[in-house]
């Protein structure tokens, strides 16, 4: 789970966060694609953002392997579980094939009917379940204006 609390937002607007429901995206996949995804595992690394400290990269930088179809441990629902910025390889694919496969899957995952865009106001608190959502912070504002958010991440179980 992640909690995000808006402290300071760009005065000209922007800085929204988009959320895509991966349960809905999975449910809407054709049966053949569900069957193709079911056995696949992705190999993931921490993203290479400039704001990440070298100590965090060293501590959290080992490759993690996750199923691409994840079963929610509470609800039992299946969801697509892949992060386009972190997945570097899928079993049975080369890295270029992995990138092409993710790029072909992404338009389905982020269809408007699966997505919500939160327009922040100071004091907003949004909670989400990382086991079943993709999220994206839009950088559609003048970055020097700043966007100050407090974030809390709760550790969960290993994806299954």
pLDDT tens-place string over residues 115-137: 999 999 999 999 999 999 999 88
Pick 63 or 29 by higher pLDDT.
29
Mean pLDDT of 2-22: 92
User: Per the domain annotation, does 72 fall within a domain?
Assistant: yes
User: Per the domain annotation, does 139 fall within a domain?
Assistant: yes
Task: Report pLDDT for 12.
Answer: 83
Dihedral sign for Cα 27, 18, 37, 57, please: negative
The 10 Å CB-count burial string (b at 16+, else e) for 87-118 is: bebbeeeeeeebbebbeebeeebbeeebbeeb
Task: Give the count of domains, the chain.
Answer: 1
Containing domain of residue 11, as a range?
2-153
Please report, for the domain that includes residue 109, its CATH number.
Answer: 3.60.130.10
Mean pLDDT of 55-61: 72
User: Per the domain annotation, does 158 fall within a domain?
Assistant: no
* Residue 63 pLDDT class (50, 70, 90 cuts): confident
Mean pLDDT of 92-104: 95
Whether the predicted pLDDT of 142 surpasses 90: no
User: Per the domain annotation, does 110 fall within a domain?
Assistant: yes
User: Per the domain annotation, does 160 fall within a domain?
Assistant: no
**Helix (H/G/I), strand (E/B), else coil: 136:** strand
Q: What is the pLDDT of residues 73-92, one digit of tens each?
A: 999 999 999 988 889 999 99
pTM here is 0.87
User: Per the domain annotation, does 29 fall within a domain?
Assistant: yes
């Amino acid at each position: 789970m992640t909690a995000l609390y808006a402290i300071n937002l760009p005065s000209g607007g922007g800085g929204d966060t988009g959320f895509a429901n991966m349960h809905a995206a999975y449910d809407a996949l054709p049966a053949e694609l569900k069957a193709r995804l079911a056995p696949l595992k992705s190999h993931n690394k921490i993203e290479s953002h400039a704001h990440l400290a070298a100590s965090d990269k060293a501590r959290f930088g080992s490759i993690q392997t996750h199923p691409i179809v994840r079963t929610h441990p509470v609800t039992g629902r299946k969801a697509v579980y892949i992060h386009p910025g972190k997945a570097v390889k899928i079993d049975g694919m080369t890295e270029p094939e992995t990138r092409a496969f993710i790029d072909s899957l992404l338009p389905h995952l982020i269809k408007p009917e699966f997505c919500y865009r939160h327009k922040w106001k100071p004091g907003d608190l949004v909670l989400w379940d990382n086991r079943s959502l993709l999220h994206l912070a839009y950088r559609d504002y003048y970055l020097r204006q700043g966007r100050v958010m407090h974030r809390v991440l709760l550790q969960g179980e290993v994806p299954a």
